[in-house]
Structure 1
Amino acid sequence: MRQTTAPTARRQGRTVTAAAERTAVEPGAPDILTVAREQVLERGEGLTEPQVLEVLRLPDDRLEELLQLAHEVRMRWCGPEVEVEGIVSVKTGGCPEDCHFCSQSGRFPSPVRSAWLDIPGLVEAARQTAATGATEFCIVAAVRGPDRRLLSQVKAGIEAIRAAGIDIQIACSLGMLTQEQVDELVAMGVHRYNHNLETARSHFPAVVTTHSWEERWETLRMVREAGMEVCCGGIIGMGETVEQRAEFAVQLAELDPHEVPMNFLIPQPGTPYEDFEVVEGAEALRTVAAFRLAMPRTMLRFAGGRELTLGDLGAEKGMLGGINAIIVGNYLTNLGRPAQQDLDMLRDLRMPIKALSETL
């Protein structure tokens, strides 16, 4: 049953690296991967918060074993198909919120400036996305929430994409919504809405101060009740503790979204996080696998920062370690890998791209 109320806050954590917090398992305790194999792989029950934490504390010499189990879980409960998505920003920069990771905030001296994409540009971006074989096209705006101008632009863009005969599903990410705006998006034919919780509830006040975690949760509740698919994930590497990563994984599992984007922090010039260290590859892969074991049936998508954190080899390991969806091409203000490179990777791994008819 999908939960529609926010889970209870747990704690306000300190900022240390996950590697520094990794500790040994108590002598005589059941091996967590043995437990996970029976609980998650065989029964389809996601790990609890203490169990996720134990996975996140596994040493590097057990990483391959962990990734193999996560891949088996993905194959058992999700199947071999990979959903491919492209994203485009219809309104870039000038956002009034203070999300500390974001170069599009108007509160920070980052190089990103406000700009709008016109309707022909939006249609062409959708056409290019569909040409890659992607089934999902997400229209994104850097705003607290959509005003009348933005909603009109999105509506006109969706109508133009349909009129051009581009066969692709439309998703949106337009910030926090009112009930009236949720209903408008449903009427436009938007089938999935992305609104990330970003991080654990206990860590959120250290990341954003201009709105609350609970406000984001309320938008997600309305989206679900209106019948749109829920896409909700976050960013790893924003100073959260390893305990807070476990907390976040379980909070997402409680939300039960259709899709969870896995982003890794790209330190942006001019933002409060510009000097943060990039998450190490092994740490990123361990986190992906732990989230898969927490959410065995959820679409887990590689998103921003994977190229910087993992590199080419790591991307393949992630696809064999629990991931079953991917964003191709560029991100909002950062370059990604060429789309063909990811498509070639999927072909080499013999992972079929999910057909459009399967997303309806």
Structure 2
Amino acid sequence: MTQAPTRSTDSDGTVPTSSAERSPDSLLAEWREQVLERGVGLSEGQVLDALQLPDERLGDLLQLAHEVRMRWCGPEVEVESIISLKTGGCPEDCHFCSQSGLFASPVRSAWLNIPSLVEAAKATAKSGATEFCIVAAVRGPDKRLMSQVKAGIEAIRSEVEINVACSLGMLTQEQVDELAEMGVHRYNHNLETSRSFFDKVVTTHTWEERWETLSMVREAGMEVCCGGLLGMGETLAQRAEFAAQLAELEPDEVPLNFLIPQPGTPFADLPVVPAEEALKAVAAFRLALPRTILRFAGGRELTLGDLGAEQGMLGGINAIIVGNYLTNLGRPVDDDLDMLENLKMPIKALNQTL
């Protein structure tokens, strides 16, 4: 099993610091040669430099990230929709999440029935999406939830051809094996933030527990989907640390979320990430993870708006979640599909992902 990293370091073994004394031109030229030409992702210290570039060089950073995406991932965009099988009532205290049963948020516990799950999968496939993710707000699945997931996957497969992913919290080895046997294509379990900041976000379980689940998922042959949430009070150095730790994990997909302050949660009063800062993060994560599926997820609408979303798609993003999120509204599906058409970005075909 892969051991969780203690702290990311640069190639000389030191904990990285910013190269503030170097010019943006020098840094961008170095990254172009390293990432675009050789396909070697940025180190933690280099990611910090990217996050600290002056705003007037944002366009250059986004352009380089787009070129890296095109060189190492290609022009296609993977489109996914998510649905909550079990909403609310979660026993964990993730401070950003309105589904925690420990906070006074307006979200209440509810289960989705199998016919509704199948209809959602059909609608997802009709939109052109190739991935349908079943999500549950739990610490980890119990027998009832595993049975529901199995029944749901069987019902979906009998009606529609689409990849099925799951996000069910922390798993045991037995549960990992069961999901692999069900044919789950990809498993999502976000690390959420850097190891050094995690205990400021969650106290009811550890970062290492999440890492352990991800290691078991990879060893079982499922694709690993692991990202996180920016804008929870972490420093730029901790964002760089997070990017480096994701690079060490080598996930197949990294969803990037931006905090939507949720009423009743401990993070309800945090400010929204400024658009320029969010776009720098998009580009920096692409340069740290040149071959990874980098997906726009929750919060892009609030943080970036329509124009910013297009800039992100031209700044390293090559996958999006369409439609609504678990407890928040997203953009209308047709708006995102129109955006991809206008940007001349083809949607990844299903037969290329099965």
Sort the TM-score into its range (normalised by shorter chain). Answer: over 0.9
Q: In 2, Cα distance between the equivalents of 1:200 and 1:351?
A: 32
Aligned residue for 1:43?
A: 38
The reply to whether residue 124 of structure 1 matches residue 119 of structure 2 is: yes
Shift of 1:25: 2.2
Structural mapping, 1:54-133, within 5 Å:
54-133=49-128
| Contact persistence 2:65–2:287 (CA under 8 A) | yes
| Aligned Cα root-mean-square deviation (Å) | 1.5
- Once the two structures are TM-superposed, the CA of residue 191 in structure 1 deviates from its matched residue by 1.1
Q: Which amino acid in 1 is paired with 2:2? A: T
Residues of 2 paired with 1:27 and 1:182: CA distance? 47
Aligned to 2:5: 7
Deviation readout 1:50-75 (Å, 9 max, x if unpaired): 11100000010000000000000000
Match of 1:17 in 2: none
Find the partner of 1:254 among 248, 256, 268: 248
How far apart are residue 9 of structure 1 and its match? 3.7
Given the alignment, which residue of 177, 190, 215 partners 2:209?
A: 215
Give the Å deviation of 1:10: 6.8
CA deviation profile, 1:304-351 (whole Å, cap 9, x unmatched): 000000000000000000000000000000000000100000000000
Alignment match of 2:190 (pick from 193, 196, 201): 196
TM-score, L = length of structure 2: 0.96
Distance in 2, matches of 1:27 and 1:280, equals: 25
The change in CA–CA distance for 1:180 and 1:24 in structure 2 (over 3 A counts) is closer
| Displacement after TM superposition at 1:4 (Å) | 1.7
Q: What letter is aligned with 2:84?
A: S
Equivalent residues of 2:93, 2:100 under 8 A apart: yes
In the alignment, does 2:342 pair up with 1:331?
A: no
Percent identical residues? 76
> Whole-Å Cα distance in 2 between the matches of residues 187 and 274 of structure 1?
40
Confirm or deny that 1:239 pairs with 2:233: yes
What are the equivalent positions in structure 2 for 1:290-329 lying under 5 Å apart?
Answer: 290-329=284-323
Q: Which runs of 4+ in 1 moved over 6 A?
A: none
Residues 97 and 144, structure 1, Cα contact 8 Å, conserved in 2: yes
Residue 288 of structure 1 aligns to a residue in which SS? helix
Gaps of 5+ in 2: 10-16
Tell me, yes or no, if the aligned pair for 1:10 and 1:202 is still in contact at 8 Å.
Answer: no
Q: CA deviation at 1:281?
A: 0.5
Q: Which amino acid aligns with 2:272?
A: V
Q: Name stretches of at least 5 consecutive residues in structure 1 with no aligned partner.
A: 12-21
Q: Number of matched residues?
A: 347
Once residues 293 and 231 of structure 2 are traced to their aligned partners in structure 1, the CA distance between those partners, rounded to angstroms, is: 21
TM-score normalized with structure 1 length:
0.94
State the secondary structure of the residue aligned to 1:87: strand
Distance 1:29 1:325 in 2: 28
1:281 corresponds to 2:275: yes
Shift of 1:29: 8.9
Report the equivalent of 1:19.
none
Match of 2:224 among 219, 223, 230: 230
**1:98-152 C-alpha deviation (Å, 9 max, x unpaired):** 0000000000000000000000000000000001000000000000000000000
SS at match of 1:263: strand
Distance of 2:36 and 2:88 partners within structure 1:
43
